[in-house]
Chain A
């Protein structure tokens, strides 16, 4: 069985048990900012904490779980993280159906708090950034369902804990959970919702697969996990909302019709704080968990949050672009571009094909800049991408800007009141060869013979001396 604790056991060497005690307010997140800036991505585990109520808790906190792209890829069974796009596209498309287990076989229901005992302040929930108004669930996977079809939907949606049994949650208006919520509210009914936290990274990524509406994420999660996802009926909603049986914590409740409350500011994937908004309220009726539960937190706006969603985006972009550009061989959504940049790697694209690929990728809502690159460019190395941009692009010829496409309102550069974005595609590929087998009609890249490079490479010390300049 693959779950969060099994993963942590496998990855003991990548875990830093942070010396404590640490405050839930800002301190763990401050560590993550410092580690990110140093390019170090251990999993952080903190214990001996106080819950929001101030009482001691045995619930430990795990964060930075997915800050390392390399480790996250390996957790999926991808030996080389650069193979993510094709792997993710294939696994989510194939899928594996979930299975339903008995309650007695569901670790996440070993402990059940109901009524007044369902008290969110008994959990160790972090407040991450300055100007955020309070503790937020940042890794809560909100599961709702479409009342017309019964088909469930799952997405990560931040939740501000406002009291023992009350919180806001923010399904962005274009999301499938927002559509489900609206359908219940239009019928004058409260929207049932369950938030589950803590699972194997493969399940976390699988449930972020980009799907149509309505379409359950459980099958895609099973595909990424490589085995059926074990589900159990939630305590409050029964079979109407199933939850992962091997999760760590589940919070169940209802969103009463048309009841909103202020929510935010909150740190977003852009690296900026999102505005205060009005968000639906959730009244919590039940909390279930494992006996020795682990509370999972995503560091908002840091690599911990960017890596998993960007990897899922690569899978979706691979599917979208490959449909119109068969020469596509790889996709990278780099964390330095947040979720706004995508690099497409093409193998000898025919005339027009690079532009076809650019147009397909620009249709992805969050993507704002797409660069088409050749196979000799390392799309995982920023210096290699910039080299191609500087030597293979004439801007008036190779850059395409398109206005009025769907975009992200979280983009701080969006004009006030804009409902759509201005996007750019850049063809940074070399021109095609005039005939098959001929060299590209441009100057060759300066190289040294492969055999010579391999031979002298052994002369370089495995660990570079500290005195050698790095820049």
Chain B
């Protein structure tokens, strides 16, 4: 199952990040993905390091608001 990291929604005056980080299902690589790739209708994401393709839909999580389900990456990988 895909793992995500996304900042939580906060007040307008609080600084929040706008990126969704995704972990590859097949290797340790984390990479930033557009929210447009998170819906069930979206094409599979493609790991930039190993080119494994996988869907970015977490069970029970609305596509527009994925929850944080993993700890931050220790390495961004992706430079094979």
- A pairs with B: yes
A interface with B by C-beta (< 8 Å): 26, 130-134, 260-262, 264-265, 273-278, 412, 414-418
Closest Cβ–Cβ distance, residue A373 to chain B (whole Å):
29
B79 within 8 A of partner (CB): yes
Which residues 1-56 in B have Cβ within 8 Å of A in the complex?
Answer: 6-7, 9, 12, 16-20, 22, 31-37, 42-49, 51, 53
The 8 Å CB contact of A415, one of B16, B34, B48, B53, is B16
By a CB distance below 8 angstroms, the chain A residues around B79 are 26, 130-131
A131 and B33 form a contact (CB under 8 A): no
Closest Cβ–Cβ distance, residue A425 to chain B (whole Å):
21
Nearest-CB residue, chain A, relative to B42: A278
Compute the total of residue contacts between A and B using a CB distance below 8 Å: 73
Contacts A275-B33, A278-B36 known; 4 new A-B pairs at CB < 8 A: A132-B48, A275-B32, A278-B42, A278-B43
B9 and A416 form a contact (CB under 8 A): yes
11 contacts between A and B (CB under 8 A): A130-B78, A130-B79, A131-B31, A131-B49, A131-B77, A134-B51, A262-B46, A265-B31, A276-B32, A276-B46, A278-B37
Closest Cβ–Cβ distance, residue B15 to chain A (whole Å):
8
In the bound complex, how far is the Cα of B22 from the Cα of A418, in angstroms? Answer: 20
By a CB distance below 8 angstroms, the chain A residues around B78 are 130-131
In the bound complex, how far is the Cα of B41 from the Cα of A258, in angstroms? Answer: 12
B32 and A265 form a contact (CB under 8 A): yes
Q: A262-B53, A275-B32, A276-B37 are in contact. Are A414 and B18 (CB under 8 A)?
A: yes
In the bound complex, how far is the Cα of B20 from the Cα of A414, in angstroms? Answer: 13
Interface size range of chain B in the complex: 20 to 34
Nearest-CB residue, chain B, relative to A278: B43
A262 and B16 form a contact (CB under 8 A): no
In the bound complex, how far is the Cα of B36 from the Cα of A278, in angstroms? Answer: 7
Task: Tell me if A's interface is mostly helix, strand, loop or mixed.
Answer: loop
Q: A131-B48, A260-B43, A262-B44 are in contact. Are A276 and B34 (CB under 8 A)?
A: yes
B interface with A by C-beta (< 8 Å): 6-7, 9, 12, 16-20, 22, 31-37, 42-49, 51, 53, 76-79
In the bound complex, how far is the Cα of B78 from the Cα of A417, in angstroms? Answer: 26
By a CB distance below 8 angstroms, the chain A residues around B12 are 415
By a CB distance below 8 angstroms, the chain B residues around A416 are 6-7, 9, 16-18, 35
B45 and A276 form a contact (CB under 8 A): yes
B34 and A275 form a contact (CB under 8 A): yes
Nearest-CB residue, chain B, relative to A130: B79
In the bound complex, how far is the Cα of B20 from the Cα of A120, in angstroms? Answer: 32
The 8 Å CB contact of A261, one of B7, B43, B77, is B43
In the bound complex, how far is the Cα of B33 from the Cα of A264, in angstroms? Answer: 8
Counting chain B CB atoms within 10 Å of each CB, the highest count among A260, A276, A415 belongs to A276
The 3 closest A-B pairs by CB, nearest first: A133-B48, A262-B46, A131-B78
A262 and B37 form a contact (CB under 8 A): yes
By a CB distance below 8 angstroms, the chain A residues around B45 are 262, 276
By a CB distance below 8 angstroms, the chain A residues around B7 are 416
Counting chain B CB atoms within 10 Å of each CB, the highest count among A133, A261, A262, A415 belongs to A262
Nearest-CB residue, chain A, relative to B30: A131
A276 and B31 form a contact (CB under 8 A): yes
In the bound complex, how far is the Cα of B80 from the Cα of A26, in angstroms? Answer: 11
A412 and B43 form a contact (CB under 8 A): no
Nearest-CB residue, chain A, relative to B77: A131
In the bound complex, how far is the Cα of B38 from the Cα of A204, in angstroms? Answer: 36
